[in-house]
Amino acid sequence: MTQIIFYIFGAMLLLSATMVVVIKNPIHAALFLVLSFFSSAAVWLLLNAEFLAIALVLVYVGAVMVLFLFVVMMLDINLATLREGFARYFPLGIIIALLMVIAMGMVVGSDYFASDTYKQISISATQSNTKLLGLAIYTDYLYQFEIAGAILLVAIIAAISLSMSKSKITKSTHPNEQVLAKKEDRLRVVKMKSEEKKG
Amino acid sequence: MLETLYHLISQYILLPLTLFVIPVDYQIEAMIFLQTTIKIFAIIIPVLITVAYFTYAERKVIGFIQGRIGPNRVGLFGFRLWGLGQPIADAVKLIVKEIVIPLNANRTLFVIAPILSLAPALAAWAVIPFDDTKVLADINAGLLYVLALTSLAVYGVIIAGWASNSKYAFLGAMRSAAQIVAYEIAMGFALVGVLIAAGSLNLGEIVNAQAGSVVHWFWLPLLPLFVIYFISGVAETNRAPFDVAEGESEIVAGFHVEYSGMAFSVFFMAEYANMILIAVLSALLFFGGWLSPFQGIIYLEDFFSWVPGMFWLLAKTSIFMFLFLWFRATFPRYRYDQIMRLGWKVFIPITIVWLVIVSALVVTNIPPWFS
C-alpha cells in the first residue's frame, strides 16, 4: 500500500518537475512547481517526517508560491522573446547541465551518502517528530540555527529598505490623521440668506 | 448511537464484503480502507448538510437583524415550514443550470479552480476531534496540518481569477491573494501561542490541556490571540467585512464573476465549509472543544454529566458560526488599504508581543493554566 502511494507521488513529482522546465506558459509552470512541492511533501510524509512535509506545504505552497504566482500574473511576459535565443544557447546549456550532473554525482554519490553511513533513523509514527526536531535544533544545532535566523532577519530588513527608498512621492493616506480628523477640520457650515431672483 | 451504527455497518456489510470479494492477502488493508471511507463519509455528509442549512440560517438571521422575514416560501412535502426547503431548492436549481465557460478562458484551470477551493476545506476535517476518542486521523502535527490546508484555499481564488480571462475576476484574485497572505501570518502566530500554551500540536491534546473549568480554557490567557485568530479567520474566508475579493459593489463578484451553476456553488460551499472550520477550530483551540462549560462547578457538573462532549463542541461551534453572520449584518466593508494596515501593522506586532507574554506565563508556571 505504502509502495503504491510512493510510486504515485514519485511519478507525479518527476512529471511535474519536468513540466516546470518544459512548459511554455509561465503561470502553468508555476502551478506545476506547486504540484511538485506538494508531491514531494507527500513523499516526505511516507518517511514519517510529518513536520517537514507539512512545513513544506505551509511555507512553500501556502506562502512563497502564492507571492510568486502573484508576481508572474502581474508581469506581461512575452513568450516569443523568451524563446528566441533557445537554439543559440542550447549547446552551452547541455555542457552546463552535464557539468552539474557530474558535480551532483560526486557530492551525492556513494562516497558520502552510502546507505550504511546514513541509515534511516527509525522514527515510530507515535513519536512526535516536531518535538525531536525542536530538541535537535535548540540544543545541538543552536548556533547554526540562530545564525541562519540572523541572516534571514538582515535579508528581510534589506529587502524592505530597498523597496522603501524610492517611494517618497506616494498618495497614501495616514490612518492616524484620518482617525483624528474632526468635523470642524473638514466641514464649514455657512449660513446665508436665500438669494432672490433678480430682475 | 453513531458508534453502534458504525459497528453494525462494519460487522454486517464490510466484513462479509471483504471476506468474499477481496483476495486473502489484502483483506486487512481492504477492511481498514473501507472503514476509513465510511468514517470520511460520516464526517463529510453532515458537514455538507450543515453548509446547505448554514446558507439558509444566514439569510434568516440577516433577515431578522434587518427587520425582514427571510426565505419562507419553499417548504417540504406541501408544508411551508418557515422555508426549510430553500437550500434543497437552491441546490437543485444550481445543479440544473448550465456552466458557462467564457471564450478564451483557460478551460482546465477554470474547471480545477472550484475543486481546489473546496478540497482543502473538506480535507482539514480529517484531524478535527469531535470527542475524546472520535477523530478520523489522530496525527501529531494536527494543528500544523490545519494551518497548511487553510493556506491552500487561496489557490482556488487565484486560479479562478486568472483562468476566467476577465478584468474583474483578476482584480478580485489579486486582492484576495494579498489579503490571505497577510492574515495567514497573523493567524499562524496566534496558533503558535496555542502551541506554546498547550505544549503540543495534536488537537486532542490541546483540548485536554484546557481541562478544569471555563477559566482554564485558553481564551483567557490567550485573549488577544483569540480575537486576532477569529478576525483573521473572517479575513481568510473572504467574509464581510473583509470581502473585498468579492466586492459586489465595486468589482461585481470578484474572482467568481464568470462562474455559473454548479461551478459557482462549489465556491459557495467552500466558503461556508471554511467558515464552519474556522468556527470549530476557535471552539477547539480557545474554548475547550468538547469539554463541558460546567466542569469544576460542584453541583452543575454532575447534573450535566450525561450530555455527550460532541454536543458541547457543536454548541460552541454554532456560536462562532453565528458571529460570522452577525459580522456580515453589522459591519460595512473595510477599505482595501485599511485591511492591509490592520493585518501587517496591527495584528502581527500584537501577536509577537503576546507570544513573549505567553512564554513568560508558561515558564513561570502561572496558575491556573500552566501550573
Between A66-80, A131-145, A147-161, the lowest mean confidence (pLDDT) is in A66-80
**What is the average per-residue pLDDT within B214-240?**
86
Tens of pLDDT along B119-178? 988 888 888 888 877 778 878 888 888 888 888 888 888 888 888 888 888 888 888 878
pLDDT in tens, A174-199: 777 877 888 888 888 888 888 888 76
> Do A72 and A26 meet the contact criterion of CB atoms below 8 Å apart?
yes
Helix axes B261-286, B167-198, angle to 10 degrees: 20
Nearest residue of B to residue A56, measured between CA atoms:
B148
pLDDT exceeds cutoff 90 at A147: yes
pLDDT digits (tens, 9 = 90+) for B250-309: 777 777 878 888 888 888 888 899 999 999 999 988 888 888 888 777 777 777 777 788
> How does pLDDT run across B78-130, given as a tens digit for each residue?
777 777 888 888 888 888 888 888 887 788 888 888 888 889 888 888 888 88
All cell numbers assigned to B66: 434587518
Other Cβ atoms within 10 Å of B313 Cβ, number: 24
Interface test with A, best of B115, B157, B158 (most A CBs within 10 A): B158
| Residue in chain A lying closest to B339 (CA) | A175
Q: Which alpha helices (H) appear in B66-141, and where do they start and end?
A: 86-96, 107-123
What pLDDT is attached to residue B291? 83
A19 shares contact with chain B (CB less than 8 Å):
no
The chain-wide mean pLDDT, for chain A, equals 81
- CB nearest B140 (choices: A31, A128, A172): A128
Task: Give CA–CA dist B87/B63, Å, rounded.
Answer: 16
Min Cα distance B153 → chain A (Å) is 9
At residue A174, the 3 state secondary structure works out as coil
A87 vs B50: which has the higher pLDDT: B50
Asked if A62 lies within 8 A of B151 by C-beta distance, the reply is yes
Compute the distance between CA of residue B320 and CA of residue B326 in angstroms, rounded to an integer: 10
Q: Which residue has the cell 431548492?
A: B89
Q: Residues A147-158: what's their mean pLDDT?
A: 93
Cα–Cα distances in Å, from B51 out to A61, B58, B195?
Answer: 27, 10, 29
Which residues on chain A are in Cβ contact (under 8 Å) with B139? Answer: 50
Cell of B274: 471554511
What backbone phi and psi angles, to 5 degrees, belong to B319? -60, -45
A129 and chain B: CB distance < 8 Å anywhere?
Answer: yes
Q: How far is B338 from chain A (nearest CA, A)?
A: 8
- Give contacts of A173 with chain B, Cβ < 8 Å: 337
Report whether B28 contacts B14 (CB < 8 A): no
pLDDT of residue A99: 93
Cβ B116 vs Cβ A38: under 8 Å: no
On the question of a cis peptide bond just before residue B224, with omega within 30 degrees of 0, the verdict is no
Banded model confidence at residue B2, pLDDT cuts 50, 70, 90: low
Give the pLDDT confidence of B321-367 residue by residue, as tens digits: 999 899 988 888 888 878 888 888 889 999 999 999 988 888 888 77
Residue B198 has pLDDT above 70, yes or no: yes
Q: What is the pLDDT of residue A148?
A: 93
Residue A150: is its pLDDT beyond 90? Answer: yes
Closest CA to B155 of A9, A68, A52: A68
Helices (H), chain A: 2-22, 26-46, 50-56, 65-74, 79-84, 86-108, 110-113, 129-135, 142-165, 175-180, 183-186
Q: Which of B29, B139, B341 sits opposite A175 (nearest CB)?
A: B341
pLDDT of residue A114: 64
Cell of residue A192, nine digits: 446665508
Quote the minimal CA–CA distance from B42 to chain A in Å. 24
Kindly state whether B162 is in contact with chain A, defined as any CB-CB distance less than 8 angstroms.
Answer: yes
- Does B17 contact A at CB distance below 8 Å? no
User: How many cross-chain Cβ pairs, A to B, lie less than 8 Å apart?
Assistant: 71
Contact list, A63 vs chain B (CB under 8 Å): 151, 181, 184
> Which one of A1, A61, A67 has the shortest CB-CB distance to B152?
A61
What is the mean predicted confidence (pLDDT) over A131-156? 89
Q: Mind telling me how many Å the CA of A131 is from chain B's nearest CA?
A: 9
Neighbours of B131 (CB within 10 A): 17
Question: A-chain residues within 8 Å CB-CB of B152?
Answer: 57, 61-62
Q: With beta carbons under 8 A apart, name residues in chain B contacting A73.
A: 158, 162, 170, 173-174
The chain A residue lying nearest B338, using CA atoms, is: A175
Reduce the DSSP state of residue B194 to 3 states and report it: helix
- Residues in chain A closer than 8 A to B145 (CB atoms): 54
Partners of residue A62 in chain B, C-beta under 8 Å: 148, 151-152, 154, 184
Distance from CA of B337 to the nearest CA of A (A): 9
3-state secondary structure of A85: coil
Stretch A38-48: mean pLDDT = 86
Which positions 231-290 of B are in contact with A (Cβ < 8 Å)? none
pLDDT at B61 over 80: yes
pLDDT value of residue B184: 85
Interface test with B, best of A51, A54, A178 (most B CBs within 10 A): A54
* Inter-chain residue contact A34 with B155, CB threshold 8 Å: yes
CB of A30 within 8 Å of a chain B CB? The answer is no
Is the Cβ of A135 closer than 8 Å to some Cβ of chain B?
no
Asked if residue B123 lies in contact with residue B44, where contact means CB atoms within 8 angstroms, the answer is: no
Mean pLDDT on A160-172? 71
Which CA distances in Å does A13 have to A93, B231, B233?
23, 36, 32
Cβ separation of A66 and B337 shorter than 8 Å?
no
- CB of A172 within 8 Å of a chain B CB? The answer is yes
* Nearest-CB residue to A58 (from B144, B158, B180): B144
Inform me whether the C-beta atom of residue B180 falls under 8 Å from chain A C-beta atoms: yes
Query: What is the largest distance, in Å, between two alpha-carbon atoms of chain A?
Result: 109
pLDDT of residue A121: 59
Decide if B277 contacts B100 (C-beta within 8 A): no
- Mean pLDDT, chain B, whole residue set: 84
The grid coordinates of residue A102 equal: 557530474
Q: Which three cell numbers stand for residue B265?
A: 456553488
Cα A152 to Cα A54, A109, A141, B87, B110, distances in angstroms: 21, 31, 17, 50, 37
* Residues 61-100 of chain B whose Cβ lies under 8 A from any Cβ of chain A: none
Per-residue confidence (pLDDT) for residue B276, from 0 to 100: 92
Residue B369 has pLDDT above 80, yes or no: no
- Decide if pLDDT at A12 tops 70: yes
